[in-house]
Structures are given as C-alpha cells and as structure tokens.
C-alpha cells in the first residue's frame, strides 16, 4: 500500500508527498528497530535475573556444604584433643576414650562446590547479560578458586594412614559401627556428620592393650599434633570461603530491583 502511494506521488511529481512517504517509512523502520532492541534488552534483563537467582541458590548450597564441613571438623578436633590429653596424662581420659579419640582424629569428610550455573554462564557467554561490572568482578573473583580442590582444604595428613595401620581392625570396625559417619542431607545430596560421643562394647583387655601400644609409639603425639594443625588450616580456609560466599550472595541480593 505504501509503495503504491509512493509510486503515485512520483508519477504526479508531488515531491513533498514523496518526502512525507519516505519519512513515514524511515520512522517506521526506526521504531521497529527500537522495539526489537527494547524487547531484546528486556529478555536479557529477565534472563540475567534468572541466572542471578540460580547463582544465589548455588551459593546457598555452598554455604550448606561449608557449614557441614565446619561442624564435622569441630567434632574431629574434639576427639583429637582428647587423644592429646591422654598422651599428656591430662584430664583423666580413659583408655577407651583415648583409643576412640585417636581413631576419630583421622576422620575426613568429603566437600564439593556448586558451580553449575557459573559454568553455564561462562560457556554460553550469558555472564555478559549482567550489566554491573562490579557484580561481575565479584562473581569472577569468587569462582576463580574452587574450594573443593583447594589443597589447604583437601590435604590429608599422614596421621590417617599411620593410625589406621597401627590400630587393630577389631577396634576400627567397632568404632565405625558404633560411631562412624551418620548420613545427612547437605545441599540436596547426602553428606555426613560425626557423632560427638562414642562408647564401645569391647573387651577391656583389648582396649587397654591398644591404648598401651599407642602410648608406646614415639611418633604418636607428634603425628597427632600435626594432624590437628592440618585441620586447623582447613578450618581457617573453609571459614574464608564461607565468608566470601556470604558476601557474594549479599552483593547479588542488593543488585536485584
């Protein structure tokens, strides 16, 4: 219809009308482009909002994992310190609690991070939908290090191999049966917690013999103390990552309208 009108005006040499027709076409195209851009921008903003909400969920899962690890390590350290007290003849630790503490001090817990949304944003380029450079920098900084593979968190001290090579299997089996890891839900999957107390139904003679054997080991105290030092380093790093996770979650929260 517009083309027919332009043709008619040109045939009649009505140049003003031709100009008006041309202007209408240009304005129409401009408006169409603007509407398309606005729709694209709106879709991008909606997708960015969805991605940020998913990042928040991932950060919540990270916090669950890190808090579960802190709780686990707290219990492990208590057992370890009980064994240290026994070796130093402090606080009247029984042979049974010494043996249990010596074993439980070697416990380790698995840890994992939740990076699915970030990895997807990176691989698809959708990270650029986030317009705030400050927020993007915070996201990049947090995910630049994967705490699940951080050596200061995942290190296993030699004590674990040492004590499990020394202690009779019958006692190890009894401890695992009576007070081993308890499966709990962490971040929508299974995790573990360690019971804070433990008692064994074993012959006192076996327990006393094992306690005496452990006390006679010249490297026992040194290895146990190094185990505690490794755990303390892990706890410090876990707390640091937990703090960074909370800060990023807050930054995302305040960025939302």
Q: Which of 114, 16, 109 is nearest to 68 (CA)?
A: 109
Q: CA–CA separation, 143 vs 243, rounded Å?
A: 13
Q: Is the pLDDT of residue 5 over 80?
A: no
Share of the chain above pLDDT 70, in %: 82
* Domain of residue 131, residue span: 2-255
CA distance 217 to 168: 14
Q: pLDDT tens digits, residue range 82-132?
A: 999 999 999 899 999 999 999 999 999 989 999 999 999 988 888 888 888
Domain total in the chain: 1
Q: How far apart are CA 145 and CA 118, in angstroms?
A: 12
Mean pLDDT value across residues 1-5: 52
pLDDT, one tens digit per residue, over 17-48 is 555 655 565 565 555 555 455 445 544 567 77
Instruction: Spell 91-121 as b/e; 16+ CB within 10 A means b.
Output: eebebbbbbbbbbbbbbbbebbbbbebbeeb
User: Cα-Cα-Cα-Cα dihedral of 23, 27, 33, 34, to 10°?
Assistant: 150
Q: Are 187 and 114 in contact (CB under 8 A)?
A: yes
pTM: 0.82
Judged against a pLDDT cut of 90, whether residue 16 lies above it is answered with no
- A 10 A CB-CB count for 38 gives 10
Q: How confident is residue 6, by pLDDT bands cut at 50, 70 and 90? A: very low
């Amino acid at each position: 219809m517009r083309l027919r009108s332009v043709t008619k005006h040109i045939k009649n040499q009505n140049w003003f009308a031709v100009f008006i027709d041309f202007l209408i076409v240009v304005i129409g195209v401009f408006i169409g482009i603007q509407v398309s851009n606005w729709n694209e921008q709106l879709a991008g903003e909606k997708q960015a909002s969805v991605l940020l909400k998913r990042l928040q969920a991932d950060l919540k899962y990270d916090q669950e994992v890190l808090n579960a690890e802190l709780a686990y390590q707290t219990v492990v350290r208590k057992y370890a310190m009980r064994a240290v007290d026994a070796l130093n003849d402090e606080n009247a630790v029984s042979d049974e609690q010494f043996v249990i503490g010596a074993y439980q001090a070697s416990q380790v817990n698995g840890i994992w991070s939740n990076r699915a949304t970030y990895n997807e944003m990176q691989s698809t380029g959708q990270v650029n939908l986030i317009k705030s450079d400050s927020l993007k920098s915070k996201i990049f900084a947090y995910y630049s290090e994967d705490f699940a593979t951080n050596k200061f968190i995942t290190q296993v001290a030699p004590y674990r191999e040492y004590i499990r090579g020394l202690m009779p299997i019958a006692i190890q089996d009894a401890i695992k049966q009576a007070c081993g890891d308890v499966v709990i839900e962490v971040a929508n999957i299974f995790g573990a917690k360690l019971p804070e107390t433990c008692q064994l139904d074993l012959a006192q003679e076996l327990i006393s013999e094992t306690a005496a054997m452990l006390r006679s080991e010249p490297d026992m105290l040194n290895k146990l103390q190094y185990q505690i030092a490794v755990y303390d380093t892990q706890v410090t790093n876990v707390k640091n990552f937990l703090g960074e996770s909370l800060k990023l979650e807050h930054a995302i929260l305040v960025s939302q309208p």
